[in-house]
Amino acid sequence: MKFTYDLKYIVQRLVILVILTQMSGCKSSSGIDFKSIKVSDAGATRATKLLYHDIQKISKRGIAFGHQDATAYGIGWKHEEEPNLLRSDIKEVAGDFPAVHGYDIGHIELGKTHNLDTVSFALMREHIQKLNEKGAIITMSWHLDNPVTDGSSWDKTPAVPAILAGGEQREKYELWIRRLADFFKSLKDEDGNLIPVVFRPYHEMNGSWFWWGGENVSPEDYKQLWKETQQLLKQNGVHSLLYAYSPNTISSEEEFNKYYPGDEFVDILGVDIYNHSENEAFTKDVTRNLEIVRKKAILADKPFALTETGNNNFGEDPSWWTQTLYPGIKGSGTAWVLLWRNARPSHYFATYPGEISQKDFKEFAELEEILFLEEVENITN
């Protein structure tokens, strides 16, 4: 009988130990008042609200580093060639993965298997699941086709009135939203819980290069498109999104606000700025723009980010990271900075092994303020 009692006791202790071990390895949400976390979707999941809380927390500790399509491909490699390896140009240079991972879901609306950058949605889903488990932040843009002409996002034929309620292409747009919703609802962790995503639709609307922006749409129609898109996603059961609004480089708060749908429809403020020409001008643009967005974010009580950036002209510039980018973002309060994709040697926006700025990037990565995946995981756990 004594042996039986001891065996039961041992089993009980082992069960408790396993539970405690599992708890220590999971993100803790104890002490968080979820009712006080207000996001644009009143029906947002608990995990979505936790992501919002974590982003605010990160912004008080430093700047999370992000990269578009970081694990899907890099310079000289594609994931399909190494299906069992989660690889990244950034990790190979800095020793850790980016904390923020960007993806684009253009062509999901068409029911295709791959996005416009040849990344399969199945691969995207698999990587998002793995990265979410590691504590990464996932953000998504949407370069959707022109619903009037079936051309690309860069087909500037005006199309927004046609997909608003009552428009001639409304039925097509609602189908596109259902396909988009199905993809978002397919993003689940190993326990079946929905993975939250920062969704950044209709970006750079103050420029005229997309059919939804600039001269191709009125500010009133743009705002209505934003609101109706958000409402359609909710009607299709999507409650795992934080909505990010990000114009291209702005000259004033008035320009930022021109297409802004309202605080109640936006969770994260952003801006996209690329180094198209001269380094000093880029640093000044980043500093000035982040200050404009920061003031707006403080008034709205929302986090903000440099939602797209990159250097088009590395050329003979080996110190761009510490001498050009960092001076612009230093102490800004931005939650993250997302570098655009490394597509090929003639079209890349971050570093990679053997690239001219690799050494400088390592110095940039070691700055206390710049945060990678393991650092962010330690902050949010």
Which residues partner with 77 through β-bridges? 74
> Which residue type does 218 have?
S
11 within a domain of the structure (yes/no): no
54 bridge partner residues:
none
Residue 168 inside a domain? The answer is yes
pTM: 0.92
Q: Give the length of the chain.
A: 381
What is residue 7's predicted lDDT score, i.e. its pLDDT? 58
Cα four-point dihedral sign 19, 21, 23, 26: negative
pLDDT of residue 312: 83
**Number of domains making up the chain:** 1
Q: Are 248 and 210 in contact (CB under 8 A)?
A: no
Question: How would you write 282-303 as a 3-class SS string?
Answer: HHHHHHHHHHHHHHHHHHHCCC
| Structure confidence at residue 77 (pLDDT) | 93
Listing DSSP states for 364-380 in one string gives HHTSTTEE-HHHHHHHH
* Residue 22 lies inside a defined structural domain of this protein: no
For residue 111, being part of any structural domain is answered with yes
**4 lies in some domain:** no
Q: Can you tell me the distance from the alpha carbon of 119 to that of 107, in angstroms, rounded to the nearest whole number?
A: 11
Rounded CA separation 352/94 (Å)? 9
pLDDT of residue 277: 80
Domain assignment present for 297: yes
Dihedral sign from CA coordinates of 109, 112, 115, 116 = negative
Q: What stretches in the chain show pLDDT beneath 50?
A: 1-5, 11, 15-26
pLDDT of residue 10: 52
pLDDT in tens, 146-180: 999 999 999 999 999 999 999 999 999 999 999 99
Residue whose tokens read 């504590």: 135
| 360 domain-assigned | yes
Tens of pLDDT, residue by residue over 79-110, are: 876 666 899 999 999 999 999 999 999 999 99
CATH of the domain at 301: 3.20.20.80
- Asked whether residue 13 is domain-assigned, the answer is no
Amino acid identity of 26?
C
Domain holding 172, by residue range, is: 47-380
Q: Nearest CA to 210 among 287, 275, 272?
A: 272
pLDDT at 16: 46
